Amino acid sequence: MSTRHPDRVADLQRAMQIISDAVADLPAECRDLAGNALLNITAEAVAQDVGCVEAGRIFARLADLLARGLQPPAREAITISAFDA
């Protein structure tokens, strides 16, 4: 947790819950597109937040996790660095 944002994890968990609820409320024909839409939004936001090079590193670590079958939980805030070995 950042010393500048002590409630950042709690805020992230709240945002994740709001997004999850919103996806569940989408029309059925849009629900299966939600993951792709969220991925596009996420990639853009992360790149803007940390820059393209660091975003690439973050997504590479995420890709490695997924390739090993380690899916981040949808309802818990985690950091990608927590899985670094």
Q: Per residue in 43-79, pLDDT tens? A: 999 999 999 999 999 999 889 888 998 887 776 766 6
Distance (Å, rounded) from C-alpha 2 to C-alpha 29? 39
pTM: 0.67
pLDDT at 79: 65
Share of the chain above pLDDT 90, in %: 44
CB 47 within 8 A of CB 55: yes
